[in-house]
A and B are shown apart, each in its own frame.
Chain A
Amino acid sequence: MNSTWSRFNITSIVLGFAFLYLPIVLLIVFSFNESKLVTVWGGFSTKWYVSLFHNQGLMDATWVTARVGVISATVATVLGTLAAITLTRYTRFRGRVLFSGMVFAPLVMPEVITGLSLLLLFVAVGLDRGFFTVTLAHITFTMCFVAVVVQSRLVSFDRSLEEAAMDLGAPPVKTFFQITLPVILPAIISGWMLAFTLSLDDLVIASFTSGPGATTLPMKIYSQVRLGVTPEINAACTILIAVVAIGVIIASIANKRREIQRQLDEQAAQRG
Chain B
Amino acid sequence: MKSLGSIRRDFAPWNDPNAKPYIQFDKVTKKFGDFTAVNNLSLTIFEREFFALLGASGCGKSTLLRMLAGFEEPTAGRILLDGQDLRGIPPYKRPVNMMFQSYALFPHMTVEKNIAFGLKQEGMPGPDIEKRVAEMLKLVKLEQFAKRKPHQLSGGQRQRVALARSVAKRPKVLLLDEPLGALDKKLREETQFELMDLQQELGLTFVVVTHDQEEAMTMADRIAIMDKGEVMQVATPAEIYEAPTSRFVAHFVGNVNMFEGKVAEHTADATRITGATGAQIVVDNGGKAAAGSDIVFAIRPEKIKVSSKKPANAVNALEGEVYDVAYLGDMTVYHIKLDDGQIVRASALNASRVTEDPLTWNDRAWVSFRPDAGVVLTR
Contacts and interface: CB of A to CB of B under 8 A. Distances in A.
A266 B149 CA distance: 10
A89 to B, nearest CB: 14
B64 to A, nearest CB: 16
Given A166-B92, A167-B92, A183-B107, A269 B154 contact: yes
Contacts, number: 72
A169 B91 CA distance: 7
A163 B106 CA distance: 11
B275 to A, nearest CB: 50
Nearest to B157: A269
A187 to B, nearest CB: 13
Contacts of B151: 262, 265-266, 269
A159 to B, nearest CB: 9
A165 B106 contact: yes
Interface stretch (B49-57, B115-123, B214-222, B330-338): B115-123
Contacts of A266: 151-152
Given A168-B117, A169-B118, A266-B152, A163 B91 contact: yes
A174 B121 CA distance: 9
Contacts of A160: 100-102, 104
* Dominant SS among interface residues on chain A: helix
Contacts of A165: 106, 117
Contacts of A270: 154
Contact of A268 (B102, B106, B152, B169): B152
A213 interface: no
Contacts of A163: 69, 71, 91, 98, 100, 104
Interface in A253-272: 262, 265-266, 268-270, 272
Interface residues of A, number: 23
Contacts of A182: 108
A163 B101 CA distance: 12
B89 to A, nearest CB: 12
A169 B104 contact: no
A269 B91 contact: no
B290 interface: no
Interface in B117-166: 117-118, 121-122, 149, 151-154, 157, 165-166
A268 B151 CA distance: 10
B102 A168 contact: no
Interface in B68-86: 69-71
Most buried by B among A161, A163, A268, A269: A269
Contacts of B121: 168-170, 174
B3 to A, nearest CB: 39
Contacts of B102: 158, 160
B157 A168 contact: no
A161 B90 contact: no
A132 B91 CA distance: 44
Contacts of B257: none
15 contacts: A158-B104, A160-B101, A160-B102, A163-B69, A163-B91, A163-B98, A164-B104, A165-B117, A167-B98, A168-B165, A168-B169, A169-B93, A182-B108, A269-B153, A272-B154
Interface of A: 158, 160-161, 163-171, 174, 179, 182-183, 262, 265-266, 268-270, 272
